Amino acid sequence: MKTMATSLQIAEGNTILMDAVRRSRKLLNRRALVGAAASAVPVAGLDWAVDAALLTQLVPAINAQFGLTPAQLDSLPTHKREQVQKALTMVGSVVIGKLVTRDLVMRMAQTVGKRLTAKQAAKYVPLAGQAMAAIMGYTAIRYLGEEHIKDCVRVCQSAQLALPPPTRDR
C-alpha cells in the first residue's frame, strides 16, 4: 500500500537517497514544464505523444539516479540482484530495472488516465481551457514521476542498495 508521504520523507535519514531524490525531482520538474507547454497547444494527440516521449526519457533518467537501470542492475553481484528483484516484487513497479518502452509508459499512465482525458477536452476551450490543460499536464507528469521516485527509494531501501555516484543532469 502506498502512503501519502513524499519521496523525500520516505528517504529521510539517508542523505545519499535524499540527494538522489532531489536530483530526480530536478529532472522531473524540467520535463513536467515541457509537458505542460505541449498540453496547452490545441492539437489533437500532441500532448499524449509529448507526455509519452517525456516519460520514456524521464523514467530511465530517474532509474539511473538510483542505480536501477538494466545495465546498472546487471553489474550487481547475483545476491544483490536477487535482493533488488524481491524489492521490485514488493513495490510492484513495472518500470524499474527494465528497458522503458512506450507500452510500459502507457501502462504507467493509465494511473492518471481520466485526468489526461479531461485535459484533452479542456484544451479546446480558448485560454482558460488551455491553461487548465497545461496545469493538468504538468500535474499528471509530476504525479507519475513522484510515484516512480517513491518506488525507486523503496526498492533501494528494501534491497539495501548502494547508490551510484551522481550522474550529470540532462
State yes or no: pLDDT of 29 exceeds 80.
Answer: yes
Residue of higher predicted confidence among 108 and 6: 6
Out of 37-41, 71-75, 142-146, pick the least confident: 37-41
CA angle 110, 18, 135 (to 5 degrees): 40
pLDDT level of residue 148 (50, 70, 90 thresholds): very high
Q: Which residues, 6 or more positions from 167, have their beta carbon under 8 angstroms from its beta carbon? A: 23, 64, 65
Sign, CA dihedral 5-6-7-13, equals negative
Report domain extents, the chain.
7-159
pLDDT tens per residue across span 80-138: 999 999 998 888 887 888 877 777 776 666 655 555 555 555 555 566 667 777 787 78
- Give the span between the Cα atoms of 108 and 145, in whole angstroms: 10
Pairwise CA distance, residues 30 & 53, whole Å: 14
How far apart are alpha carbons 50 and 138 in whole angstroms?
12
Question: Taking the alpha carbons of 112, 115, 120, 126 in that order, is the dihedral positive or negative?
Answer: negative
* Between 123 and 150, residue with greater pLDDT: 150
- The reported pLDDT for the residue numbered 80 is 93
Q: Please give the mean pLDDT across all residues of the chain.
A: 81
- Residue 47 grid cell: 500532448
At 141, list the grid cell: 507528469
pLDDT(1) > 50: no
